[in-house]
Amino acid sequence: MEKFVVRGGKPLIGRVKISGAKNSAVAVIPAAILSCSRCVISNIPRINDTFYLLDMMEYIGVKVDFQGNTIYIDSSNIKSTSIPVDLANRLRASYYFLGALLGRYKEAHVPMPGGCNIGVRPIDQHIKGFRSLGAEVYIEHGIIHAKADKLIGSNIYLDVVSVGATINIMLAACMAEGLTVIENAAKEPHVVDVANFLNAMGASIKGAGTDVIRIKGVSELRPCEYSIIPDQIEAGTFMIAAASTQGDIIVDDVIPTHMEPLTAKLKEMGVIVEEGESSIRVIGNGRTKAVDIKTLPYPGFPTDLQQPMAVLLGISKGTSIITENVWESRFKYIEELKKMGLNARVEGRSAIIEGVEELLGAEVSATDLRAGAAMVVAALTAKGMSIVHNLEHIDRGYERIEDKFIQLGGDIVRVKD
């Protein structure tokens, strides 16, 4: 077990390079199964979710070679369409093996996925999509079995806007016969990125990034080279940390339009944000003003950023309300932040935060991935020493988080418990 020891209260200053997007990489890697040959994918973050997926790829017979941030994937010799429980339950994205294996082999046997414990995380919309394409799907002893003689394009209306279901249906439909239309599709940048990757392999997907996606089935997908987009959530975490520590950071290798829901809020709070072509500079500008946040599917404010944002709101002037509209149980971290002096209460789907002058260092735990990012931002912001436990959550989704903060002048060290 490892923990961070952080001495906070210093402004973060300098430049930080953003890694490839976790939620794009975790879909693109299993998607490479759809090509019967070699794909080269760059800008892949070296995070635990990537390593967990590569274990699953190797288990089914895919050859993978991960050099730096580039993965060479050779799917020409797959031997199995079943994923074992102990590999699948380490992360959420194992559900993408369903769409990818079903799409290529018309058969997949994948355990119920793991991932952050942020409420009930059903996969009924994924299953509805696969069934609509003609697959028989059932769950037995915790394993999802999907099988079809052939997949036939279909019209699928998602009852809820779901990133996972949208991507999974795209994967399964790429080589289905005829046209598949996904209505009420998710519009997140990583949905568009996966569609672009599939199109680079020869798929015919139009409309990704809008709420209607049209997929014309093709007979096969070819090898390709692809570079995935920067991580919108990692970028946002550093932008918020710049503001909360009264720092001055240039966040490099970002797509500024992906950051607009956050940029707009930071500006509303009085933070100086300057957008470049592929970078954003964030400058602390005195104590921020309280604002309300409502998490929503893209282009709304991302649910994966409300946790570090709570830190900034916690030291802002006035009362802020965060309303979590995507997950029903994503405020567990508030109790941890209270140990640092956060003045907040949770009422149903809302956290009501009364800003205090400063946070004080304390011993806290990462209750999940983004809660972990919030603890790190809070520890760097708070006066005095903090200890952050349960780093395994943070390591699922952030590449070298402490090194990047050290580069910005943060006093943070990883030590063995």
Ligand X SMILES: C=C(OP(=O)(O)O)C(=O)O
Ligand Y SMILES: CC(=O)N[C@H]1[C@@H](OP(=O)(O)OP(=O)(O)OC[C@H]2O[C@@H](n3ccc(=O)[nH]c3=O)[C@H](O)[C@@H]2O)O[C@H](CO)[C@@H](O)[C@@H]1O
Element containing residue 206 per DSSP (H, E):
strand 204-206
d(CA 93, CA 24): 10
Footprint on residues 72-101 left by ligand Y (CB under 6 A):
92-93
Structure tokens at 228: 């995935």
Total site size for ligand X, rule CB under 6 A: 12
Q: Which is nearer to ligand X, 87 or 250 (CB)?
A: 87
Report the residue number whose CB is nearest to ligand Y: 164
Contact 354, 325 (CB under 8 A): no
Footprint on residues 292-321 left by ligand Y (CB under 6 A):
303-304
Q: Give the number of C-alpha atoms closer than 13 A to the C-alpha of residue 329, restricted to the C-beta side.
A: 8
| Whether 174 is catalytic | no
Footprint on residues 169-228 left by ligand Y (CB under 6 A):
186
Taking CB under 6 A as the rule, does residue 324 contact ligand Y?
no
326 binds, among ligand Y, ligand X, none (CB under 5 to 8 A by kind): ligand Y
User: Bridge partners of 347?
Assistant: 350
Element containing residue 104 per DSSP (H, E):
helix 96-105
Please name the residue ranges forming H helices in 245-367.
Answer: 260-269, 306-314, 332-338
d(CA 193, CA 195): 5
In the numeric block, the tokens 């020409």 are attached to 76
Shortest reach from residue 397's CB to ligand X, in Å: 5
Binding mask 326-365 for ligand Y (x = CB under 6 A): xx--------------------------------------
333 binds, among ligand X, ligand Y, none (CB under 5 to 8 A by kind): none
Taking CB under 6 A as the rule, does residue 369 contact ligand X?
yes
Q: At 282, give phi and psi (nearest 5°).
A: -125, 125
Single residue of 34, 91, 259, 359 touching ligand X by CB under 6 A = 91
d(CA 59, CA 82): 9
Q: Which is nearer to ligand X, 49 or 74 (CB)?
A: 49
- Does 22 show up as a binding residue in the annotation? yes
How many other C-beta atoms can be found within 10 angstroms of the C-beta atom of residue 215?
Answer: 27
Sign of the four-CA dihedral 85, 195, 368, 295: negative
Shortest reach from residue 99's CB to ligand X, in Å: 16
Shortest reach from residue 289's CB to ligand X, in Å: 26
397 binds, among ligand Y, ligand X, none (CB under 5 to 8 A by kind): ligand X
- Bridge pairing between strands 38-42 and 225-227: parallel
Secondary structure (3-state) at 412: strand
d(CA 58, CA 66): 12
Shortest reach from residue 117's CB to ligand X, in Å: 8
Q: Which is nearer to ligand X, 165 or 224 (CB)?
A: 165
163 binds, among ligand X, ligand Y, none (CB under 5 to 8 A by kind): ligand Y
DSSP annotation of 208 reads B
Q: Which amino acid is it at 191?
A: V
Shortest reach from residue 213's CB to ligand Y, in Å: 14
Nearest to 126 by CA among 85, 151, 89, 163: 163
Please identify, among the stretches 10-18, 90-98, 215-223, 381-389, the one whose residues bind ligand X according to the rule CB under 6 A.
90-98
Shortest reach from residue 167's CB to ligand X, in Å: 12
Contact 337, 314 (CB under 8 A): yes
Taking CB under 6 A as the rule, does residue 351 contact ligand X?
no
123 binds, among ligand X, ligand Y, none (CB under 5 to 8 A by kind): ligand Y
User: Bridge partners of 2?
Assistant: 416
List residues near ligand X by CB under 6 A: 22-23, 91-93, 115-116, 118, 304, 369-370, 397
Which segments are annotated as binding site for phosphoenolpyruvate? 22-23
Extract the annotated binding site for UDP-N-acetyl-alpha-D-glucosamine. Answer: 92, 121-125, 304, 326
Q: Which residues bind ligand Y (CB under 6 A)?
A: 23, 26, 92-93, 121-126, 160, 162-165, 186, 303-304, 326-327
Active site residue ranges: 116
